[in-house]
Chain A
Amino acid sequence: MTELEKRIKAKIPGEDTGIEIKHSLCAICSPAFHCGLDCYVKDGKIIKIEGSPDWPGSKGRVCTKGQSNRDYVYRPDRIQTPLKRVGARGEGKFEPISWDEALTIIAEKLNEVKAKYSAHSVAFYSGHCKWYRPILHRLCYSFGSVNFGTDDSTCFKANDIANKLTFGAGAGPNTPKANTFLGWNYGGYYAKHMSVAGVRALKERGGKVIIIDPRHTPAVKNLADLYLQIKPGTDGALALGMGKIIIDNNWIDADYIEKYVHGYEQYKALVQNYPLDKVCAITGLNADDIYEAARIYATNGPATVNFSGCTQTHHINGMQSTRAIHALIAITGNYDRPGGNVPGGVSYLHKNGGFTTREKEFRESLRPHDQLRIGETRFPIWDEYCDEFHAVDLIRQLEEGTPYPVKAFVGLGLNAKMLPESDRLLKAMADNLDFFVDADLFMTHSAKYADIVLPACSSLERGEMKAYEGGFLAYTSPVIEPQFESRSDVEWLCDLARKLDVDDELLKAGYEACCDWIIQDTGLTVADLKKSDMPVKVPTAKPANKPGTYLAGGCKTRSGKIEIYSEAIAAVDAKYGLNPLPDYQDPLYDQNDPEMVEKYPFNMVAGVRLPHTQHSRLHEAPWLRSLRPDPLCEINVEDAKRLGIQENDPVEISSPSGTIYAKAKVTHKFQPGTLMMIHGYTEANVNNLIVSTHLDPYSGYPGFKSARCTIRKYEEA
């Protein structure tokens, strides 16, 4: 081999090898990350991916998922052209059509439904991706429908709402200045890889790490000084019990409470119902560990709590449990304090760059007010704090047709597997919709039900605007041409706005014009951003406020204080039965009648993270699938032994709403009585086991992480 051949084989960038490094971002997982990528490109093809060392935030790091971008982008099942359904809904039979034909059909059908029913009978919905949401949101309102919804209905937003109820603002961990890191359901490594370095640094400077998690994770092994292996969904009881210990020992910050906390006396009375022995019985923990966790959290100087994106809120008691943890922050004076939990704003699309944009105005200013949104009367707290319909109520409104029928559905990356009783939802869509369009990169289980399917492209094939911490804005350039006939979602959405001829000149002017409008106050334009292939420093960006500034100005809650007693909840009609205090309820309170308990003795924790999966989008990525070829249901060794189940045995898992089949993975990592399984497999969709009414009445979130089921070894006939 010549030296040049060796360099080409080793993919060394250079003029001689013809390999160029182009910058982009990974959009596979959460918009909180979107790590920068160095894409090695040769002859118009990506041949290798690495983290981009100078990218703000990620600074060269990418996770297992991001590292697999080449595998993802070149997945063999990419949708190649717009498609028109020719078989039955769900059958997967389509024929190719042109983009113009597809958009013409979509515009005609949506206008038909608008004329026959009303604009509100058309629901606009986004799956996991966030980047095009401002455009989709505005298109929905410009079209005249009140029904814009997203996967926020099951992801992160409940946390955000809980924060707003208690603090009136965000409550992110300020790990760099903390002495104690209370990692409540903190996994770190597999879902939030960039956070691990900060926790490790805290540990190395002598800080304490407490982790509360039903599962023994790498974070427990590598980081925890104290580990509480809690029974799933009992966190609220633990938090109230810890509150009692803190109050009984007078470890509270009385001055802080006096000045900033609303509802302390009621809370103090509430925690009297949670003595240590009772909390031990509920949580399965031992008294010394609970006492020690409370002591360290309250007395070791500044302490920060890490809340995971939605682990806690995926219990039907989740929002109240989250608020019970908030109460610990409040009574120890750890909110808006250095090393505690701190408020933070959003510049653009879930990212805080320390500058303001007009995203909210852009999205919400054209909202119609002449109809109820899907789920509006069922989940009043949700509706007050989130400008979206509630997707978990979609199944009911489709089936019942009340208060009005939903007749058309515009989906971008709709993934029914992310919602309870997924197959029942798809059936309701197939039975009741006059028209259904879905855009996706891949022919998904849900897309097979659509009448028109549009081919989307990945982040590496498009340009998009994105904010980053440290005062940055980026507008990426495509690294490769869009694959096949796929297009950037915002391009066809703006084309559709023109076809529909909505009364919205800005939207019809296209994505870049919209971005320019949104970032008008930053001192930058899209043209400025496009001059750089890296994120650009925003001139108007300011460093975060000094801790204490927010409290001094008054919290953005009804009382102006931190509300352990939520006045917003108290204001909700009593018929909903909501409690302004964060009291505890059993995570299975709706499934605890003796017959259910006997028939379904196990508690399923669905959606436990694997390092190489992101919902369902990577299950069919060939490299990653080969790391775990079969859907696995994890079961504790003792349960497995009792039921005669061995590693890799086929198992049948059932709940009142369905039955799925997987293989067993036997483990010590969690206590008996629990099962754990990753979501998103079409052939073993664990969310079919989650009953669609098993919901948190505060947030509307499904109880994905505590739901009754049973398991047995499956002998094929």
Chain B
Amino acid sequence: MKHVFTFDPDKCCACSACVIGCTDQNDIDLAGGEQCFRKTYDVEIPLQDGDVYYAYLSTACMHCKDAPCITACPVGCISKDPDTGFTIYDNTACIGCKSCAMACPFGAPRYRKEDGKMVKCDGCYMRVKNGMKPACVRACSFGAIDCVPEDEYLASGSNKACNALIDQLNLRKKI
């Protein structure tokens, strides 16, 4: 079943539990300088009216429907999981050219120094197929991140998509 990640910026506090959940799931060597697939942001944005907007955000791969990383990869590592619809990969043939990361509007694919290959969030598609929530979702105590079947998401009015956080910031800038 196709699944969708949602994010509610009014529930996030950038506590990074999602980052640690992802790190724990994917054995990412954070201390060794590798980057987690998910990242949080605690940002202060001075507004034109003198006020300050405090943004608390969490992002990873957006699992775009029309993912530019798939076409950007010269060796065809990246594909869509037919079941979940997540953007997954097999980096056996990866040449470490970083084209995927450059094509991605969110810079989601990471270059792993250890073996010179690309890695990224695969939506925990194996967990989802086994009826489990992705690691980051399970780690969030506040319901800020979720992963729901596409039909449920569409029925909910789609107003909590990951990309909404971008709109949210523009609105709050009061330009």
Residues on A lying within 8 angstroms of B by beta carbon are 1, 6-7, 9-12, 48-51, 60-64, 67-68, 70-71, 189-190, 193-194, 196-197, 200, 216, 218-222, 611-612, 622-627, 667-669
Contact = CB atoms under 8 A, between A and B. Distances in A.
B72 interface: no
B90 interface: yes
A197 B11 CA distance: 10
Contacts of A669: 44, 54
Contacts of B24: 48-49, 67-68, 70-71
B56 A218 contact: yes
B123 to A, nearest CB: 11
Given A49-B24, A669-B44, A612 B127 contact: no
Interface stretch (B93-101, B110-118, B138-146, B160-168): B138-146
A626 B36 CA distance: 11
B17 A63 contact: yes
A216 B141 contact: no
Nearest to B136: A67
A623 B20 contact: yes
Contacts of A189: 13, 15, 142
A67 B139 contact: yes
Contact of B15 (A12, A64, A220): A64
B13 A222 contact: yes
B126 interface: yes
A668 B15 contact: no
A669 B52 CA distance: 9
Contacts of A70: 24
Given A50-B138, A61-B141, A64-B15, 20 more contacts: A10-B124, A12-B126, A12-B130, A49-B24, A51-B139, A51-B141, A62-B139, A62-B141, A67-B20, A68-B20, A71-B20, A189-B142, A190-B15, A193-B15, A193-B142, A197-B142, A200-B11, A216-B52, A222-B11, A222-B56
A247 to B, nearest CB: 34
22 contacts: A1-B90, A12-B132, A48-B24, A50-B135, A51-B141, A61-B141, A63-B17, A71-B20, A189-B15, A193-B15, A196-B141, A197-B143, A200-B11, A218-B14, A222-B11, A222-B56, A611-B15, A622-B30, A623-B23, A624-B20, A627-B19, A668-B46
Given A193-B142, A196-B141, A64 B20 contact: yes
A51 B20 contact: no
Given A10-B127, A611-B16, A668-B46, A60 B138 contact: yes
A667 B44 contact: yes
B175 interface: no
Contacts of B23: 623
Interface string B51-64: 01010100000000
A509 B42 CA distance: 52
A668 to B, nearest CB: 4
Given A10-B126, A626-B31, A627-B19, A190 B139 contact: no
B159 interface: no
B17 A67 contact: yes
Contacts of B10: 222
A482 B56 CA distance: 38
B17 A668 contact: no
Interface string B1-32: 00000000011111111011101110000110
B144 to A, nearest CB: 9
Contact of B21 (A67, A190, A625, A667): A67
B141 A625 contact: no
Nearest to A219: B13
Contact of A12 (B14, B44, B46, B127): B127
Nearest to A217: B13
Nearest to A221: B54
B25 A193 contact: no
Interface in B41-80: 44, 46, 52, 54, 56
Given A6-B126, A64-B20, A70-B24, A625 B31 contact: yes
Given A193-B141, A196-B141, A216-B54, A611 B13 contact: yes
6 A-B pairs with least C-beta separation: A622-B31, A10-B126, A218-B13, A611-B15, A189-B13, A61-B141
A409 to B, nearest CB: 34
Given A64-B16, A64-B17, A612-B16, A668 B11 contact: no
B64 to A, nearest CB: 22
Nearest to A51: B138
A169 B2 CA distance: 53
A221 B56 contact: yes
A693 to B, nearest CB: 36
Contacts of A623: 20, 23, 30-31
User: Which of B14, B130, B141 has most chain A Cβ within 10 Å?
Assistant: B141
A11 B25 contact: yes
B30 A626 contact: yes
Interface in B120-136: 124, 126-127, 130, 132, 135
Contacts of A64: 15-17, 20
A7 B126 contact: yes
User: Which of A220, A667, A668 has most chain B Cβ within 10 Å?
Assistant: A668
Contacts of A627: 16, 19, 30
B139 A668 contact: no
A636 B61 CA distance: 34
A89 to B, nearest CB: 31
Nearest to B144: A222
User: Which of A9, A60, A190, A222 has most chain B Cβ within 10 Å?
Assistant: A222
A624 B20 CA distance: 8
Nearest to B56: A218
A474 B124 CA distance: 32
Contacts of B44: 667-669
B138 A190 contact: no
Contacts of A50: 21, 135, 138-139
Nearest to A222: B10
Contacts of A622: 30-31
A194 B16 CA distance: 16
Contacts of B17: 62-64, 67, 611
Nearest to A187: B13
Nearest to A628: B16
B93 to A, nearest CB: 13
A632 to B, nearest CB: 12
A37 to B, nearest CB: 12
A667 to B, nearest CB: 7
A196 B90 CA distance: 40
A222 B57 CA distance: 12
A400 to B, nearest CB: 44
Contacts of B90: 1
Contact of A48 (B25, B54, B130): B25
A61 B139 CA distance: 7
A222 B16 CA distance: 17
Nearest to A621: B31
A49 B22 CA distance: 11
